[in-house]
Amino acid sequence: MTDPIRLQVNGRSVDVAVDPLTPLRTVLGELLGLRSVRMPCGVGACGACTVLVDGRPVKGCLHPVGLAAGRTILTAEGLPPDDPVAAAFAARNAFQCGFCSPGFVMAVHGLLAEDRAPDDATVRAALTGNLCRCGSYPLILEAVRELAGEGGAGR
């Protein structure tokens, strides 16, 4: 067996004894029970497994857990209760079935960390890897515009 891999997940230190090539999503969603990290496609197409590794969005189904060793991982479970991105998605009703929503919320966090006031084209480019089969994109775009507007207002 390989040496345990130490991860910082949602503010807690966790050791997992798995092959370093194990997808991060398998570790988070199945071993650690973080159910917001879903895996509808398993091939990096849908983004429902998006989590932040050191603040950058990665697709958990493709990202080997070994690459996350020692790094800080944030899933939707680790967001504070007053998380502004989640609040904007909820307030705008930017979801339908919700299966994809945590992945979108984390992807938007990644985007806003890079660009606090993205224009529509930037938002579209950043979220192209997250799929919503219900087709809630117009309201998702509105939610992100609102957050971007706040970023643009100088906060």
Partner 1 sequence: MTPAGHLAGLAATDPMVDAADRVVGRTRYAIDVEVPGMAHAALVRSPVAAGRILAIDGEAARAMPGVVRVVSGADLVAAGLAGVRFGTMQKDQPILATESVRFAGEPVAAVIAESAVEARAAAAAVRVEIAETAAVFDADAALAPGAPLVHEWRADNLLGRWHAAHGDLDAARGAAARHFRHEFWSPAAQQASLEPHVCLARWEDGRLEAWTTSQNPSRVAEELARIFGLAPGGVRLHVPPLGGAYGGKNHAKHEPLVAFLARLVERPVRLANWRREEFVTVTKHPARVLVESGIDGEGRLLYRTARLRWSGGAYALSSLAVVRAGGLAVLGPYRIPAAEVESVVAYTNLPPAGSFRGLGVNQAAWAGEQQIDIIARELAIDPVEFRRRHLVRAGDRLWTGEPAGDVHWLECLEAAVADLDRTSPGPRGGAPPPPAGGDSDAIRRGRGVAVALKHTITPSRSDASVALLADGSVEVRTSAVDMGQGVSTVLARLAGRVLGVGLERIRSVLPDTAVTPFDATSSSSRATYAVGEAVERAATDLLVRLAEAASAALGVAPERLTRDGDRLTADDGRSIDGATAVRAAGAAELVGLASFVNEPFVDPDTGVPVSSSHWHQGAVAVEVAVDVETGVVRVERAHGAAWAGEVVSAAGARLQNEGNIVFGLGPTLFEELAFDDGRAHPLTLMDYRIPSIADLPVALTSRALEAEPGTHRERHGLGESLIPAVAPAVGNAVAAATGVRLTELPLHPERVLNALRARPVAHDGVDSPRGAGGRS
Q: Is 127 in the site for partner 1 (CB under 8 A)?
A: yes
Containing 103, the helix (H) or strand (E) segment is: helix 101-114
* Sign of the dihedral through C-alpha 104, 101, 5, 70: positive
Burial letters for 8-38: b for 16+ Cβ neighbours within 10 Å, e otherwise?
A: bbbeeebebebeeebbbbbbbbeebebebbb
CA distances from 50 to 40, 108, 117, 154 (A): 12, 10, 21, 27
| Span 19-58, contacts to partner 1 by CB under 8 A | 35-38, 40-46, 48
Residue (68 or 100) nearer to partner 1, CB: 100
Residue (69 or 139) nearer to partner 1, CB: 139
| Span 51-110, contacts to partner 1 by CB under 8 A | 75-77, 79, 82-102, 105
Instruction: Tell me which stretch binds partner 1 (CB under 8 A): 1-9, 11-19, 65-73, 130-138.
Output: 130-138
Binding residues for partner 1, rule: CB under 8 A, are 35-38, 40-46, 48, 75-77, 79, 82-102, 105, 112, 123-125, 127-141, 146-147, 150-151, 155
